Amino acid sequence: MTIKTLLVANRGEIAIRIMRTAADLGIGTVAVYPADHTNSLHLRKADEAVQLKGHSAQAYLDVADIIAAAKGSNCDAIHPG
């Protein structure tokens, strides 16, 4: 299976490195973020961004919300970061 779009379920330097590598491989990226992280750098590095329901770091641990974001963005894979 070829990955065309990857959701990166993390933020910060790790997410940026994953997105950079994905771009080098021709893979589109989707970032996720809670409302209180709208100025995070990883959002500008991704091809698309999806807002999560929760707040702060806890939002990145909501597995159901992450999977819903991936499905809604037609992602082929999720990288947990």
For residue 25, give the amino acid letter: L
Residue 2 gets which letter from DSSP?
-
Domain residues for the domain of 61 are: 5-79
Euclidean distance between CA atoms 35 and 4, whole angstroms: 27
Query: H/E element holding 26?
Result: none
Burial (Cβ within 10 Å: 0-12, 13-18, ≥19) of residue 52: buried
pLDDT digits (tens, 9 = 90+) for 18-65: 999 999 999 999 999 999 999 999 999 999 999 999 899 899 999 999
pLDDT digits (tens, 9 = 90+) for 3-24: 999 999 999 899 999 999 999 9
Residue 29 DSSP SS3: strand
Domain CATH number, residue 44: 3.40.50.20
Q: What is the number of domains present in the chain?
A: 1
**44 is written with which tokens?**
């500008």
